[in-house]
Amino acid sequence: MSYPAHVPSSRLVCSLVFAAALLAALAPGRALSRELDVPYVPTPQVVVDKMLELAEIKPGDVLLDLGSGDGRIPITAAKTSGITASGVDLNPVRVKEAKENAQKEGVTDKVEFREEDLFETDLGEATVVTMFLLGSVNLKLKPRLLQLKPGTRILSYGWSMGDWEPDRTEMVEGKPIYMWIVRGENDRAAPAD
Ligand SMILES: C[S@@+](CC[C@H](N)C(=O)[O-])C[C@H]1O[C@@H](n2cnc3c(N)ncnc32)[C@H](O)[C@@H]1O
């Protein structure tokens, strides 16, 4: 029996289905919703530990890592201090990896990772904000960081925040960690660069 010319043969249909399945299997992950502002470079664990030490984390603190990569900062905070921590990253591959790491480390009840743009995410209840970004990205975030609750600690690895003087600067293996403590009205009056 022969089919009309416009009906694809079963062999062609099988080939198309196979090609589609192969492409799906080879695809590295979902596409990014937009270009990343910062490439992925993990913070060395010795620096993560120092950032958390500088933050003087206490019960009730809520940590947020902006651009959370494989989740090491929120996961370490939850493991060592038992606090609630979260991270946002625009890259779905990183978010998946962070969730898997949280599972491996047994802290899924304390940490949350979301695929979100750090410029749009709700900084909400955060009392400790960590960042390993870029100077230009820090400066763009500064006006929103200044609105955080007084007492909130902001820690940045490697990059400062223009003329906003840090409360602490600590060098680890030749690179700085900066920490600012939000003071409320005084900080809010500071220029946002
Ligand atoms: C230098 S890595 C730091 C990763 C992690 N915080 C750490 O310390 O190991 C920067 C991260 O920011 C993420 N990123 C870049 N632009 C972003 C954006 N607009 N919103 C959310 N995440 C972003 C990247 O995917 C990357 O994982």
Q: Ligand 1 centre and the CA of 67: distance in Å?
A: 3
Which DSSP category does 87 fall into?
E
Question: Which domains, from first to last, does the chain contain?
Answer: 45-188 (3.40.50.150)
Percent of the chain with pLDDT over 70: 80
Assign 148 a pLDDT band (cuts: 50, 70, 90).
very high
- CA 163 vs CA 120, 144, 187: distances in Å: 24, 16, 12
Pocket test residue of 33, 35, 38 for ligand 1, highest count of atoms within 8 A of CB: 38
Q: Which residues contact 73 (CB under 8 A, 6 or more apart)?
A: 43, 48, 51, 52, 63, 65, 85, 87, 130
Q: Whose CA is nearest to atom 24 of ligand 1?
A: 40
Can you tell me whether residue 114 is helix, strand or coil?
strand
CB 48 within 8 A of CB 76: yes
- CA 3 vs CA 15, 125, 167: distances in Å: 18, 65, 78
Q: Ligand 1 centre and the CA of 72: distance in Å?
A: 12
pLDDT in tens, 163-192: 999 999 999 999 999 999 999 765 654 544
pLDDT in tens, 36-49: 999 999 999 999 99
Strand partners of residue 63: 85, 128
